[in-house]
Each structure stands twice: as structure tokens, then as C-alpha cells.
Structure 1
Amino acid sequence: MAIDTIAYVDGFNLYFGALKDTPYKWLDLHQAISSRLGPDFNLIGLKYFTAMVIPTTNNPKVLERQNTYLRALSATQPNFTLIKGKYKLREIVRPKLALARWPQDSHPIAPEDYEKIPGYVWVSSWEEKGSDVNLAIQIVADAAKNHSKAICLISNDSDIAGALQIAKNDFQKKIVLLTPWKYRQKIPNELKAPADLLRVLNEVTLKDSQLPDQIEGTPLSKPLAW
């Protein structure tokens, strides 16, 4: 008998680990995950964790495309739940030139002294916050409530490993790690440890698991830029 399974998708980890620079962003998550899980698992829930992106001068329609995709998922995916984090503006130091390097054997530099380093400058950077914490909390909460017999994680973020250990050791859940294909050679040991199964979300699966260009019964369609 197939094992009831909930999938937990780290949206940005999936994007950068499997979808960026590919034509497969219009992804049918349920189909892709079910395909890689196989007949021994019954996907009964899909929880997607992300934050709303910030439009830029170079990419002014990025939020519009993201919203379209999230609405398409809500319209097509069985038992789909969207959990949002947020972006936070952070001031960080970056090299002015790609080849600029601070000597490896140098002493730590105080933040107020960064401007004195040749070739370095302060820049503003948007960082996604909260999704990994939300995902870990949701895994533990669902395991405690016995919502499924198995957990499928689509992420390569080692920060989630503790939640998987709790689900496995305290609540006897089967753990499947479904790794985005670009990360297949660098899966953290912390994630491997609690996993009962390790599988890769590969390019063939992505290609074969695309939503229809036009979502039936809705005005939603695949963005042209995708």
C-alpha cells in the first residue's frame, strides 16, 4: 500500500537548484514530485515556501510572473498550501571587481574599516528570510499531528536537517530527500543522515512535468518571458 506523503518545497532552493536558466519554470510540482516518488508513495499534500520577490530596473516584471505562477499552482495542485516568508534589505561588502580578493591570511576587519580596503564597496542586497524556519516548523508540527506517514523535502538547505531528525526519531516518519539536480553532487551530510531515500529532481522530470500554457477555467497563462 502506498505511503501517504506530504511534500515540503523550498521555493528559492528549487529555483536556484533546478529551474534558473532553464525553460522549465512553469513547473507542475505535483506531477514532478509524484513522478520521482514513484508508486510506493501517495502525495496527499504539497506545501510551498517562498517570499515575494522585489522587482528591479533590470527585471521589472519578476513579481508579476511569480504571482502568475503561484496562482497557477493554487488553481491546479491538489491540497496545495502557500506559506510566505519575506525579503530583508541588508548592507554587505562586495568586491568592485570580480578578481578583487582580500588576503586569505589577513586579520578580521571591523565593519567601519571596510571602506579602506582597496577594491571593496558597501552594497545593498535583498535576502529572503523566514522560509527555511517556516518550513522546519511546519515539518515538525505536521509530524506531531500525524498528518502523513512520510515527508518529502525538496531543498538542499542543511538548516532543515534538525526538523527532519525530529520527524524521524520522535514521530517515526519516513524521510525522502528530493534534491534539485544542480545540487546533486553537494548534498549536505546533515540532510543525508535522516533520509531513508535520496532522489534527484532531474531535468527530464522537469521537462515532462510542465503545466499547460493556458490554465483551463482561468485567465492564467504561462508568462511569455518563460
Structure 2
Amino acid sequence: MKAIVYVDGFNLYYGALKNTPYRWLNIRKLCQIMLPRDQISQIKYFTALVNPRPTDPNQLTRQQTYLRALQTIPSLEIIFGHFLTHEIMMPLAPPKSGYVKVIKTEEKGSDVNLALHLLSDGYKNAYDVAVVVSNDSDLLLPIQFVKKELGKKIGLLNPQKHPSKVLIANVDFVKNIRKGVLSKSLFPKRLSDSRGSFMKPATW
């Protein structure tokens, strides 16, 4: 069946990739392995440019290099949200008392963008099956709408240890993203595009 894959970039990263050797992930390879019977017409990757912490000033550079790698995939589109960083007061954990000022970083817009594209593509009859790479239960309502109102099939590639129970109950299939598949789905260390050749970040 004709499929469009919708990737929640941060849910994928924090659920399956952070602190692993699999961060240089070729998402199209991953999808081809996990969806062998489907024709993947497009992959939409939802993310935001990070605000580097003082302790990791190269964080944005690494992310931009990875996004450059993703852009070598012809059928992949990157849709950006944004980050908000602000200071807030948080309570200390017992037995300590009082409050401490912390820097809170929030990624905004990706879940809304994903939901809008999922619904819009469904209305346009752009896919037979929609595949969501996320475990975010905030996507429940658009997933229900696609299945019940638009009559489309919808599946979940789960990057987290345990898939959301509410999402499981409302999709046609769930496949967990496992280490074995990730290890077979990496870009080569060196890639090239219209700007020249580039390498996987050394600290990865």
C-alpha cells in the first residue's frame, strides 16, 4: 500500500537513539526494513533546531549535520517547530526544602505540525496507510480521526520501551523499533550532497 511516514524527531531521538551508536540513522532504511510490504512515497520528519547548552556548545552543529544527512534522502521533507528556553523556579526533592532556579527547554510545534500534515494528507487521499513514528499520546485525536472519519489505515513504529496503551487501541498495527533494526539502518560515515562531502560527527 502507498504509505507516508510521519516522524516525531524528538520522540524518536529520546526514545531510541540518545546515548546509543545509532544516532546516524537513515530513516528511510529503517522504514524499508520495518514496512517491507508498503510503498513509502514520502517521509515527513518533524523537529526543531536545538538551543545548545553551555555544557555542550556543539549540539546544534551535530544536529545540523544530521539534518543535512537526512536531506540526502529524496523523498524526505523536514518540517520545523521551535524551541523555547526560559528560567523557572522548581521545588527541591525531599528531604531538602526550598526552590532552585533551573533552565527549562521546551520543544514547541512538532506534534501540532505532525497532526496537521497527517490530517491534510489524509483528506487529499495522499496515502493508503499512514505510519507514525512516535509514542506521544497527544497524537491520539488526529490518529482516531484518520482511522474512523477518513477510513484510512494507520500504524505506529514505537521508539519507546513500552508503547502507549491508548495509541495501541486506536491503530491497525504497532511495531517496536529494536536495536537490531537500528544497527542495520545507519548512513555511511561519509556522505555527499550539492555542497560537497561531509562526515558523521566525530563525537557520535
Instruction: Give the TM-score category using the shorter length.
Output: over 0.9
| Whole-angstrom CA distance in 1 between matches of 2:60 and 2:85 | 17
Residue 126 of structure 1 and its aligned partner are, at CA, apart by: 1.3
Tell me the equivalent position of 1:198: 174
CA offsets 1:60-106 (integer angstroms, 9 cap, x no match): 1110111111011111x13111100001124433345xxx238xxxx
Partner of 2:128: 149
Q: Structure 2 unaligned runs (5+)?
A: none
Q: Measure, in 1, the Cα distance between the counterparts of 2:170 and 2:2.
A: 18
Q: Which residue of the other structure, out of 63, 75, 98, is the alignment partner of 2:60?
A: 63
Q: What is the count of residue pairs matched by the alignment?
A: 202
Larger mean CA deviation between 135-144 and 120-129 belongs to 120-129
Matched, 1:86 2:63: no
Is 1:72 the counterpart of 2:73? The answer is no
Superposed CA offset, 1:27-54 (max 9, x none): 000001121112x211111000000001
- 1-structure distance, mates of 2:76, 2:198: 17
Query: Following the alignment from structure 1 to structure 2, what is the Cα–Cα distance between the partners of residues 120 and 128?
Result: 24
Deviation at 1:141, TM superposition (A): 0.5
Structure 2 counterparts to residues 43-62 of structure 1, below 5 A: 43-62=40-59
Percentage of matched positions with identical amino acids: 41
Deviation track 1:106-163 (CA, whole Å, cap 9, x = no partner) reads xxxxxxxxxxx92421322111011001101110001000111001100010111111
Partner of 2:94: 101
Q: Secondary structure at the match of 1:219?
A: strand
Q: CA deviation at 1:184?
A: 3.2
The one-letter amino acid of 1:86's match is H
- 8 Å Cα contact 1:83/1:134 also seen in 2: yes
Counterparts of residues 1-226 of structure 1 (less than 5 Å): 3-38=1-36, 40-75=37-72, 77-96=73-92, 100-101=93-94, 118-180=97-159, 183-185=160-162, 187-217=163-193, 218-226=196-204
Aligned residue type for 1:122 = K
CA separation in 1, counterparts of 2:94 and 2:116?
39
Question: What amino acid is the match of 2:55?
Answer: N
Q: Could you list the per-position Cα deviations for residues 156-190 of structure 1 after superposition, in whole angstroms to 9, with x for gaps in the alignment?
A: 1011111111111121111110001xx232x2222
Q: How far apart in 2 are the matches of 1:143 and 1:29?
A: 22
Query: Does the CA-based 8 Å contact 2:15-2:161 persist in structure 1?
Result: no
- How many angstroms apart in 2 are the aligned matches of 1:168 and 1:32? 24
Root mean square deviation of aligned Cα: 1.6
Secondary structure of the residue aligned to 2:84 is strand
Amino acid at match of 2:82: K
TM-score by length of 1: 0.85
2:63 corresponds to which letter in structure 1? Q
